[in-house]
Structure 1
């Protein structure tokens, strides 16, 4: 169920989706970005913040204004060392 609203479970959706449909969704995400409204809003806000920063002589990067964006890949070994 989708947030208790209805629809199928994740397992059912995975079982019923075709490879062609997966490719279509991947192409959509590549063109338009995340399907998450929160992430899209975060990106829009980050773009505005970056422009304000640059107008005031700042040298920040877009990711600096996106707290939920992944900054770098972390190996399993690094994660275990840092988080254990």
Structure 2
């Protein structure tokens, strides 16, 4: 579970992790992203792709190169088209 943090099962993690330690891991994940190796690799690849894209004059965002991440909220254009 969580790359072995706290144990291999949820039961082991509940037995081994204190509430404060679980909160600390939650804050770490919120600040630095997933502990999943594949998602972290995807984020690194997306940063590289974004830099190359911007050098050629593109205006994409980082999330455009991360197919497994969800966008939070809606864009202004999307909201205005839905409201009218």
TM-score range, shorter chain: 0.5 to 0.7
Q: 1:49, 1:34 → 2: CA distance?
A: 19
Query: What is the CA RMSD across the aligned residues, in angstroms?
Result: 2.3
Higher relative contact order (CA 8 A, sep 6+): 2
Superposition pairs for residues 8-27 of structure 1, below 5 Å?
8-27=8-27
> Structure 1 pair 55/17, CA: closer, same or farther in 2 (3 Å)?
same
TM-score normalized by structure 2?
A: 0.67
State yes or no: 1:66 paired with 2:66.
Answer: yes
| Aligned twin of 1:32 | 32
Structure 1: 5+ residue runs without aligned partners? 74-84
When the two structures are aligned, how many residues end up with a matched partner? 69
